Amino acid sequence: MTFKDSSLQFQIVDITTLKADAKHARQNINEDNLKGLVNSIEKIGVIQPIVVRPADAAGNYTVIAGERRRQAAIIAGEKTVPVVVRACAPDEMLKVQVFENIGLGVRSALEPRDMANAIQTISEQFATLEEAAQYFGRAPTWLNQATAAANLSEKVTALLDSGKISSTGTAVQLEKLAKKNEAKAESLIDQIEQMPEGEKVSKKVVDNALSEETGRRKKTEDAAPAAEPAAKTAPQASAGTTVLPWEDEPAPAPAAARSKVSPGKVKLVAELLGMNEEDEEEILVRLIDEFLAMRNA
């Protein structure tokens, strides 16, 4: 019997009977992001039941969906929690976890690499990229973007894990640069590796380097009217961010980036999506995906 066809049973159970799924798609849970959920549970309890499956004859359960709720409830000191018990085959649990987190911006999204790894694992079950994309109800181009973070090189992964790259989106951009100009990417990686502890490369640095390779800057310069070169002003670096050599000549910002969007609104949307507020382009892509998902629901 599939998860879709399984019956369900609502129960209030001892929280100690709930066990984490060792292969759960959500492997990275930010403790800061849990604070709001912990506070909510402390005030009014667990609003949405945790979805579980029977784990053994002793009355224990494995969490299918709701691992954040389980952890937050433990921190909040809850002794019992509401659950919905459903039958679910082990090889179907990952699919349930991924679909629960696609297009649900009101929840904290999976960390980009976790989501990318989970989607790629599921995609590998299909013979072609098109079949896998169709399974998710998305285009093959979306699938390529969704799994990009699952294919980072060892060097880029190490920089991301060490905190020297500002976000997963920045890491993906660095991989794109390596495909276009491996030497330039290696040079940038070497400089990032030499950054002092606690400092990180900004997304703008990587975007500018990639922009040069795609020719967008050259196209913009050719289209612009001739003008006297203006004096350069030394770039201002934010705290904890190193300015690299080519950052003093940023590529012209796209129209969307030049629009006066309230930073507060960007931050709020980023929090709702569980994303880094620096990745404005990724936030826009995610919003478009969610809007289309709602229209097609």
Bridge-based pairing of strands 18-19 and 200-201 is unpaired
Assess if residue 265 is contained within a domain: no
Among 3-12, 221-230, 238-247, the range scoring the smallest mean pLDDT is 238-247
Assess if residue 259 is contained within a domain: no
**CATH number of residue 50's parent domain:** 3.90.1530.10
Higher pLDDT, residue 107 or 198 = 198
**pTM of this structure:** 0.50
Query: What's the pLDDT tens digit per position in 274-289?
Result: 565 666 766 776 677 6
Among 6-10, 27-31, 46-50, 185-189, the range scoring the smallest mean pLDDT is 27-31
* Cβ atoms 115, 101 nearer than 8 A: yes
Task: Locate 89 and state its tokens.
Answer: 């085959």
Query: What's the pLDDT tens digit per position in 120-169?
Result: 999 999 999 999 988 887 788 888 888 988 889 999 989 888 889 888 88
pLDDT band, very low/low/confident/very high, at 235 (cuts 50, 70, 90): very low
Residue 216 CB coordination number (10 Å): 14
pLDDT band, very low/low/confident/very high, at 23 (cuts 50, 70, 90): confident
Number of domains in the chain: 2
Give the structural domain span for 18. Answer: 8-101
Please tell me whether residues 97 and 16 are part of one structural domain. Answer: yes
* Cβ atoms 152, 175 nearer than 8 A: yes
Give the three-class secondary structure for 238.
Answer: coil
Assess if residue 46 is contained within a domain: yes
In this prediction, residue 82 carries a pLDDT of: 96
Please tell me whether residues 156 and 216 are part of one structural domain. Answer: yes
Assess if residue 291 is contained within a domain: no
Scan for tokens 């599939």, then name that residue: 2
Assess if residue 294 is contained within a domain: no
How buried is 22 (Cβ within 10 angstroms: 0-12 exposed, 13-18 middle, 19+ buried)?
exposed
Assess if residue 71 is contained within a domain: yes
- Asked whether residue 63 carries a pLDDT value surpassing 50, the answer given is yes
- Of the candidates 156, 52, 168, 163, the residue with the CA atom closest to the CA atom of residue 110: 168
Please tell me whether residues 97 and 186 are part of one structural domain. Answer: no
Assess if residue 67 is contained within a domain: yes
Give the mean model confidence (pLDDT) for residues 232-260: 46
Higher pLDDT, residue 49 or 255 = 49
Please tell me whether residues 17 and 84 are part of one structural domain. Answer: yes
Assess if residue 106 is contained within a domain: no
